[in-house]
Amino acid sequence: MATIRVTPNILTQRVLTNLRDQNRRILGLQTQLATGRRINNLSEGPLAARLAVGIRREIQRNEQYLENINTTAPFLQSTATTTQTMTDIYQRVRELTIQGASETNGPLQRAAIAEEINQLLEQVAATANQRTNGRYLYGGTRTRQEPFELTRNADGDITAVNYVGNDGQIRIAVAEGVNLVTNETGRQVFLDNQDIFQNLIGIRDDLLAGNTADLSNVRLAEIRVAEDQLLNSLARVGATQNRLERVDNDTRDFNFQLQETLSNTIDADFAEVIVNLNSETNALQAALNSAARILQPTLLNFLS
């Protein structure tokens, strides 16, 4: 049987190779401690690395959905607040109209009521041109210009209101394949079944003219339609807010689960890594001590 002569050079190369392997394992464990990840390169676990990439992509997509919701929330809240304000205003308008329609009031009393109606009209007009974070709420997709133009008489009173916005819907993506309408247009809120501005202008002018019959019949009927119109808008906004809140909570919960899955896939177990690092460090030290004894140079080394 042929024999293989183990020369000092072969022995040296074998010892150095083993030392390099141990150093490589120690470096890998130190990298895991530094990064907190069990897998830092694709070669360390191709399947786990691919899974981690997919999970990260899904987390990033969900974070974009959450950002969309967070950006939209102030506009929805402002829309809800202004619509509620107009609903409250119309409760007062109803009271004043009933009061002004009474035959017990004289011209001076009706003029005083008309002045209050006129102030409420101004408030509604200002609310219709409400702006939040530089964006007009009721202009449809025309969010950079006032959606309602006011026409005034010589005394400065509003005589007509013209809608110059559009009926465009602002949609945001809140989940995969789910886009929600997040705005109320000026036509929906102020002009749909009842022109709220014309209703208020008509009440004011009827009060000044002493036209109690129209106040009792026409204007009160218009008020009922206007109130329903505002309540319908408020209901739509509230429903959208509730849905966004649910989607927000669900998405955050799902992202938390994805983070846990990602952690289980690539994160290192620090206790296990430290134990393994200590073991490999001790093994390296023992190997170095052993190599120092084995590779001591002698005269025979130089003669071989």
Q: What is the pLDDT of residues 204-224, one digit of tens each?
A: 999 999 999 999 999 999 999
pTM of the model as a whole = 0.75
Residue 118, H or E segment: helix 107-128
Helix axes 8-35, 270-294, angle to 10 degrees: 160
**What is the rounded CA–CA span in Å between residue 231 and residue 80?**
10
- Backbone φ and ψ of 146, nearest 5°: -60, 130
> What's the pLDDT band for 303 if we cut at 50, 70, 90?
very low
Confidence of residue 260 (pLDDT cuts 50, 70, 90): confident
pLDDT digits 0-9 by tens, 184-203: 999 999 999 999 999 999 99
Single out the residue of 173, 166, 164, 185 nearest to residue 236, CA to CA.
185
Q: Give how far Cα 199 sits from Cα of 86, 124, 206, 237, Å.
A: 13, 12, 10, 24
